[in-house]
Amino acid sequence: MAHVNAALTPKHRLRLARLIVDDGWTPARAAEFFNVTWRTADKWAQRYRDEGPVGMNDRSSARHIQHAKTPRPVVRKIVHLRWKQRLGPAPIAAKLGMPASTVHAVLVRCRLNRLTHIDRVTGEPARRYERERPGELIHVDVTKFGNIPDGGGWRY
């Protein structure tokens, strides 16, 4: 099924491609007939030549090649340098000979991208405690003021 903003559905793409390939129309003339650009018409015609009617179907827009994750030993080195030496992505990247963006991505994945998330004393990730009900631990400060006479303070 074509998405909402598609100029051509798979059925119309097939009609467009057959007009160009089988019937000999120029891409510009067919594009004008279907109200698309000539590049679009030429693209669908070429795909029809290469793949036939099956090529007119919608395709995923996801990457064909997914990038590999950083190997576990490298992740361990990055995390170790972050915890023990408190280095940022650029110094860690320089030590390990890799891009700083990769180091930053690993630190974000491990939730160590901010030094405020790491306990200063132990170097471990900060542990937050959660309560069962909201407001379970409420702290109230009580301040005692001096006796203020009715009707005003220091201007009385």
Q: What is the pLDDT of residues 95-151, one digit of tens each?
A: 999 999 999 999 999 888 887 766 666 666 666 667 788 777 777 777 777 777 777
Average the pLDDT over 69-91 and give the result. Answer: 90
Indicate whether this model's pTM tops 0.85.
no
For residue 44, is it within any domain?
yes
From 117, 135, 151, the end of a domain falls on 117
- Return the CA Rg of the chain: 33
Domain with 34, as residue range(s), is 10-56
For residue 98, is it within any domain?
yes
Q: What is the pLDDT of residues 21-58, one digit of tens each?
A: 999 999 999 999 999 999 999 999 999 999 999 999 98
For residue 141, is it within any domain?
no
Q: Specify the pLDDT at position 4.
A: 67
Spatial distance between the Cα atoms of 40 and 18, rounded to a whole number of angstroms: 14
Q: Structurally, how many domains does the chain consist of?
A: 2
**pLDDT beyond 70 at 155:** no
Mean per-residue pLDDT over the chain, rounded: 85
